[in-house]
Structure 1
Amino acid sequence: MTRRERLLARQLPSATVLLASTDADGDPEELKLRALPADEFEQLMAEHPPTDQQREDGAIWNEATFRPALLSRSEVPLDGEESLSWEDWAQLMTLLPFGEVRELFDTALALNDRAPAAELGKDS
């Protein structure tokens, strides 16, 4: 396989996040997230610009709208189920504990921020 073929065959990274169960059965809720193609991620950031105050504070997106948007686009639905919508994720942000929201969002961000490891030579 050539380098071109190997690069074109690459899959977007994914990860599974387990949320604590609130059911009587005690099974955790499993959510699979995947990275977006770079152009899709950049477009998503552009669609959710920070407010003036957020920009002054150093933000590069509006967290209130970007977080549910990223999660709705990153979620890989279970077989036979539909992905949750932006509205579903926005509602979940108000219902889930902060730690679970942070873990989901941080995982989605990390999947989209996979910088290749730089290997520097001996005299670099």
Structure 2
Amino acid sequence: MGRRERLRARQLPTESVRLPDPGGGPDEVFELRAIPPDEWEKLLGEHPPTEEQAEKGETYNPTTFRPALLERCVLTPDGEEPLTAQDWADLSASRNLAPGEFIRLYNTAYALNDRSPLVVVGKG
């Protein structure tokens, strides 16, 4: 199989994130999958930075982009309703999902879609 065929056969990457229940119940496991590159670019374009954010160098509006990305990347278990971007925004503003948990899910979704090569620079 040649490079063209190998690249065409690639699947979008997936990853699991496990969030422990602070009340001692079962962990909540989230399965995330990258979206196709053209949809990634479109999603970024749908969430432009505010003027203030652009002045700070932001390339998108994190307030609206983060929940929208999670809506697209978090897979829904069979028989459940998918969480919307509004659901994610509400969860991030509530006490039900800690800020670190929300950021962990977002960072995982972002990394799945960014897929930039890791550059390691050695000493001297």
Taking structure 2 as the reference length, what is the TM-score of the superposition? 0.86
Matches within 5 A, 1:78-89: 78-89=77-88
Displacement of 1:81 in angstroms is 2.3
Taking the TM superposition and a 5 Å limit, the aligned residue runs for 1:20-35 are 20-23=20-23, 26-35=25-34
Aligned residues: 117
The letter for the 2-side match of 1:20 is: P
Where in structure 2 are there 5+ consecutive unaligned residues? 120-124
Per the alignment, residue 60 of structure 2 pairs with: 61
Q: Compute the RMSD of aligned alpha carbons.
A: 1.6
Q: Which residue is 1:100 aligned to?
A: 101
Runs of 4+ aligned residues of structure 1 deviating over 3 Å after TM superposition are none
Cα offsets for 1:47-77 (capped at 9, x unmatched): 0000000011111111110000000001111
Call closer, same or farther: CA 1:94–1:39 in 2, change over 3 Å: same
Q: Which residue of 1 aligns with 2:111?
A: 110
Match of 1:90 in 2: 89
Identity %: 52
Distance 1:88 1:112 in 2: 21
Q: Shift in Å at residue 23 of structure 1?
A: 4.9
TM-score (norm 1): 0.86
